Amino acid sequence: MDSKHVFGGVVAAFLFGFVVLYSSRGRENIKASEKNRSKKTLESSGNGVCRSNFAGNTDVIIVGAGVAGSALAYALAKDGWRVQVIERDLTEPDRIVGELLHAGGCIKLAELGLEDCLDGIDSQIVFSFAAVHKDGRRTAISYPSNACSRSFHHGRFIQKLREKAASLPNVKLEQGTVTSLVEENGSIKGVLYKTKAGQELAASASLTIIEVPSYFGGLVLENYNLPYANRAYFILKDSIVVTYPISSNEIRCFVDVPGSKQPPISNGEMASYLKTVVAPQMPPELHNAFICAIEKGNIRTMPNRIMAASPSPTPGAFMIGDSLNMRHAVTGGGMTVGLSDVVLLRDLLRPLNDLRDGAAICKYLESFDILRKPTAFAINTLASTLHTVFSSSDQDPSRKEMKEAFFNYLSLGGVFSEGLMALLSGLNPAPLSLVFHCFAMLAYAVGRLLLPFPTPKRVCIAAKLILVGLGIIFPILKAEGIRATFFPVTMPAYYRTPPVQSTDERETGK
């Protein structure tokens, strides 16, 4: 190993030891007793999904039956809450979104009792990614502790989640389009919606939760004899390309097209761009399948949406999933964040037996935004950093050097690559660990430039590299909230406790 790698490894190891020494333990999960379930009779809703008859008021309305919405409906109903889910379209979605569930997300799915939703949909197990450099070099990036992710067709997974939620007697799942929220004395009391038949109805509940999924584009590589079908790739060349299997004979391929204006699909410019610019970057084992997919015309495009969580507390209403927070799709962390939010919200609601005091519940749930920060911060920051670094032009020597350092840092293996994967996958959502890796990569990049001899030109590039690196990291940290992320105990919302309530369960449905 040359002096550059030795220097980078020593500096990174020192920073890692410092972080381990001073990292603090997170807030303990809220303890709660198991809640009794309601017993009602199921009947067919006429759209292929079962739903139940309801006597009395609904406790929670969930707008949207995506991954987070369906999982939350099941989790809350298991705890005894009466839940009504209103989804715009209950047919199986045909969307290119939410197809890779990282290892941390799989653990959250199991915590919710929904791990069986991965069965029977031809889901694939992914243990590692192959990172492919511009010059053809490769390095394996594995999940730590033999953990794995699962990938699948989004629509099949969604239908499994919906069926699981609708199987509970206290869940009403119906198709309809929500047109507005119903407000009364500054508090949300329910929604107005149109049914599939066009009938306008009103639904009331103590708490309305909004989950609106976002959609992204891509193309499918189909080849029944495709080699390396169970491998996933991060192709970090002129364009960022991410591939992973979604069935036993299909691979999803995401291509990040830089710039605000994309080549149109209708006149063939997008196909030409993919063939001439992206195809030469593909690994040999994927090249032919990539060309075939382009020629079949199965191409979809959607803009990436990035939105930091900026909650605006409203009594009686709550946002979750992509309606609350979105990050760049390059790392596929959306479902992991969403399911982590579902587990957290379920645990926060468990000590309660009444949701009717909207103002008190709203005040109590302010702690949600603080407690979700570690997981959301780690995954959001890595997604933005990875995209910013590898989507930049090589014309700037400092940015080119940063790309090289990032890839070589991953190639160090061990705690360095596995540490990043633990953060990206939600297995170790520790903000200090993320800071360590960011600054260790920066130190590693500077060390590569200054060793074995720091020429004036290299010193100038190293100085600019530091400025560029800090310019990438700090705006992301600021958007996520430095105080809430690193000093949560200084936030009043961190100490919110459940409001005092009557123990009478007869009027709550629990």
Spatial separation of the C-alpha atoms in residues 368 and 484, rounded to whole Å: 11
Q: What is the DSSP code (8-state) at residue 177? A: E
Q: Which helix (H) or strand (E) holds 205?
A: strand 200-210
What is the phi/psi pair of residue 42, to 5°?
Answer: -85, 150
Select from 221, 253, 258 the least CA-distant residue to 239.
Answer: 258
Q: What is the DSSP code (8-state) at residue 79? A: T
Looking at the predicted structure, is the pLDDT value of residue 8 above 90? no
* Residue 77 pLDDT level (bands cut at 50, 70, 90): very high
Bridge-based pairing of strands 83-87 and 171-184 is: parallel
Q: How many CA atoms lie within 13 A of 125 on its CB side?
A: 6
Q: Which pLDDT does position 231 carry in this prediction?
A: 67
Question: Are the C-beta atoms of residues 318 and 211 closer than 8 Å to each other?
Answer: no
Spatial separation of the C-alpha atoms in residues 57 and 502, rounded to whole Å: 18
Range name among 6-20, 126-140, 194-208, 473-487 with the lowest pLDDT average: 6-20
* Residue 40 pLDDT level (bands cut at 50, 70, 90): very low
Spatial separation of the C-alpha atoms in residues 311 and 180, rounded to whole Å: 19
Q: Which pLDDT does position 510 carry in this prediction?
A: 59
Most confident range (mean pLDDT) of 64-78, 320-334, 469-483 is 64-78
Q: Which pLDDT does position 254 carry in this prediction?
A: 87
Q: Which pLDDT does position 502 carry in this prediction?
A: 63
| 108-155: pLDDT as tens digits | 999 999 999 999 999 999 999 999 888 888 998 999 988 999 999 999
| 88-99: pLDDT as tens digits | 999 999 887 789
Spatial separation of the C-alpha atoms in residues 213 and 209, rounded to whole Å: 13
Q: What is the mean pLDDT of residues 162-173?
A: 96
3-state secondary structure 230-267: CCEEEEECCCEEEEEEEECCEEEEEECCCCCCCCCCCC
Looking at the predicted structure, is the pLDDT value of residue 32 above 50? no
| 389-442: pLDDT as tens digits | 888 777 788 888 888 888 999 999 888 999 999 999 999 999 999 989 999 999
Q: Which helix (H) or strand (E) holds 370?
A: helix 367-371
Domains along the sequence of the chain with CATH: 60-99+153-213+305-372 (3.50.50.60), 123-150+218-301 (3.30.9.10), 392-492 (no CATH)
| 230-242: pLDDT as tens digits | 568 888 877 788 9
Looking at the predicted structure, is the pLDDT value of residue 199 above 90? yes
Range name among 62-76, 309-323, 394-408 with the lowest pLDDT average: 309-323
Looking at the predicted structure, is the pLDDT value of residue 353 above 60? yes
Q: Which pLDDT does position 504 carry in this prediction?
A: 52
Token pair in block for residue 510: 């629990």
Q: What is the mean pLDDT of residues 490-497?
A: 90
* Residue 361 pLDDT level (bands cut at 50, 70, 90): very high
Token pair in block for residue 11: 């500096």
Q: For the chain, what is the mean pLDDT?
A: 82
Which burial class, exposed, middle or buried, applies to 33 when counting CB atoms under 10 A from its CB (0-12, 13-18, 19+)?
Answer: exposed
| Secondary structure (DSSP) of 91-144 | SPP--S-S-EE-HHHHHHHHHTT-GGGGTTTT-EEE-EEEEEETTS-EEEEEPG
Q: What is the mean pLDDT of residues 2-14?
A: 43
Token pair in block for residue 384: 């933005």
Q: Which pLDDT does position 459 carry in this prediction?
A: 92
Q: Which pLDDT does position 12 carry in this prediction?
A: 45
* Residue 208 pLDDT level (bands cut at 50, 70, 90): very high
